């Protein structure tokens, strides 16, 4: 960096929860993309990391697992006992090919488009149920009562567990993603242990009495002579619960927040909901970018945009920044529900770790947004928005809303 560019730089701190108090720190990202796209960032009590903020570089890192490994962790700060690894076992998200490929083959059949399509009617019914629960009240919390309900109920339904358990487990994911300085010591570990214990109990029940559900199919699946053992199942269960809710919950909350602030875009969407909802959702994904970043660890000395990066260094891909890159998107700071093409990387930058649940997430988001906008056409904020205090997951934590009460539709 030159002296001139340093003088005009905002304070760069991508670890501080305060930087994410009102959403993602796009002032910092904009400056970094222009002046220091592969930025060396300090890490208190840690070795530091490289912050990668341009679209092209994020895609490059994400598509080269040989140089940029998911192991040992995808989060910046190493949290020992976070539940992602147990002895020789790892959560699939922390694996690299070829081991990752073998495990992904075990679980992917339930998440490909041909498997997700038959779920559309069930997801639509859950969306009606979610709106029915609040429609007569005329007010609710958009995140807790609407956006957060959908992934909780869908994944519980898929896994063959009580719907209420899905709600409780998603509360644990919020504790697991909290910035360490904002919660009591041990919060993340305790939440992971509670989820792990539940997975063990569910697994035992499904082995005794298998059903027509994802849990039972996972326990019976076999690829190249390999089946999930107890630890494998528990870790994959945790990944499903954790990753399965973040995109839908934060996207619906953050996407509607964007519409609330832009009456012209909202009016355009409502004028042709069937014709514009799909492109609006893709723009919401770009705009909100619910997963802020993913970390990789360098396996061998390499170079990125002229910076020498050593083996063992942490490299962090900032999706929220890449999705506002001026080199890729016209008017990237403008929310435009008609944007096309829209090559965002909200589900990852491609390669072996592209989001397994992207098809299901789009089905959930489409069903819930259609139900909300159709049955609550005058929905509006009824109080201030509170944002998640997390540098890993971005979106509203609370968003009180009001609307004209209506009748329940039932099943």
pLDDT band at 86 (very low <50, low <70, confident <90, very high): low
User: Angle CA(361)–CA(344)–CA(350) in degrees, nearest 5?
Assistant: 75
pLDDT band at 270 (very low <50, low <70, confident <90, very high): very high
Q: Tally the C-alpha atoms within 13 A of residue 125's C-alpha that lie toward its C-beta.
A: 8
Lowest-pLDDT range of 116-120, 166-170, 296-300? 166-170
Q: 236 vs 269, which has greater pLDDT? A: 269
Lowest-pLDDT range of 78-92, 173-187, 371-385? 78-92
| pLDDT of the residue at 83 | 47
Each residue's pLDDT tens digit, 10-67: 999 999 988 998 999 999 999 999 999 999 999 998 999 999 999 999 999 999 999 9
Each residue's pLDDT tens digit, 334-373: 999 999 999 999 999 888 888 888 999 999 999 999 999 9
Q: Do the beta carbons of residue 284 and residue 342 sit within 8 Å?
A: no
CA 178 to chain centre: 14
Q: 107 vs 4, which has greater pLDDT? A: 107
- The CA dihedral of 117, 122, 125, 131, to the nearest 10 degrees, is -80
Q: Is the pTM of this model over 0.85?
A: yes
Each residue's pLDDT tens digit, 181-235: 677 888 888 998 999 999 999 999 999 999 999 999 999 988 778 788 888 899 8
Distance between CA atoms of 396 and 398, rounded to whole angstroms? Answer: 6
CA 405 to chain centre: 31
3 state DSSP class of 145: helix
pLDDT averaged over every residue in the chain: 91
| pLDDT of the residue at 80 | 56
Class of domain 34-402: mainly alpha
Q: Average pLDDT of 310-323?
A: 98
Q: How far is CA 165 from CA 160, 169, 258, 268, 294, in A?
A: 10, 6, 31, 38, 28
Distance between CA atoms of 409 and 377, rounded to whole angstroms? Answer: 16
- The single-letter DSSP state of residue 309 is E
| pLDDT of the residue at 6 | 53
């Amino acid at each position: 960096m030159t002296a001139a560019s340093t003088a005009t730089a905002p304070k760069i701190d991508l670890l501080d929860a305060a930087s994410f108090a009102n959403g993602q720190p796009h002032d910092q990202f904009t400056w970094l993309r222009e002046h220091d796209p592969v930025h060396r960032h300090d890490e208190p009590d840690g070795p530091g990391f490289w912050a990668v903020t341009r679209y092209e570089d994020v895609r490059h890192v994400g598509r080269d697992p040989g140089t940029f490994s998911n192991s040992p962790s995808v989060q910046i700060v190493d949290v020992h006992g976070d539940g992602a690894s147990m002895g020789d076992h790892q959560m699939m998200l922390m694996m690299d090919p070829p081991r990752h490929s073998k495990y992904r083959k075990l679980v992917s059949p339930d998440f490909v488009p041909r498997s997700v399509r038959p779920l559309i009617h069930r997801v639509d019914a859950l969306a009606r149920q979610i709106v029915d629960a609040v429609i007569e009240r005329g007010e609710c919390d958009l995140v807790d009562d609407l956006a957060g309900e959908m992934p909780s109920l869908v994944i519980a339904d898929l896994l063959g567990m009580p719907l209420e358990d899905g709600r409780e487990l998603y509360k644990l994911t919020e504790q697991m993603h909290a910035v360490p300085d904002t919660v009591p010591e041990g919060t993340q570990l305790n939440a992971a242990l509670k989820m792990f214990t539940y997975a063990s109990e569910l697994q035992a029940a499904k082995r005794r009495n298998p059903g027509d559900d994802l849990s039972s199919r996972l326990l019976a699946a076999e690829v190249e002579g390999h089946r999930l053992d107890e630890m494998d199942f528990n870790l994959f269960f945790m990944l499903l619960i954790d990753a399965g809710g973040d995109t839908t919950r934060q996207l619906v909350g953050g996407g509607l927040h964007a519409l609330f602030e832009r009456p012209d875009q909202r009016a355009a969407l409502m004028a042709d909901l069937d014709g514009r909802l799909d492109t609006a959702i893709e723009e919401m994904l770009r705009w909100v970018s619910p997963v802020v970043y993913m970390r990789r660890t360098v396996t061998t000395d390499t170079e990125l945009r002229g910076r020498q990066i050593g083996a063992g260094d942490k490299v962090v891909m900032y999706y929220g920044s890449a999705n506002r890159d001026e080199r890729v998107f016209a008017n990237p700071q403008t929310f435009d529900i008609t944007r096309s093409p829209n090559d965002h990387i909200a589900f990852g930058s491609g390669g072996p770790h592209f989001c397994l649940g992207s098809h299901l997430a789009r089905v959930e988001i489409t069903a819930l947004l259609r139900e909300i906008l159709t049955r609550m056409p005058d929905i509006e904020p009824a109080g201030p928005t509170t944002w998640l205090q997390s540098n890993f997951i971005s979106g509203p934590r609370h968003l009180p809303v009001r609307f004209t009460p209506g009748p329940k539709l039932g099943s």
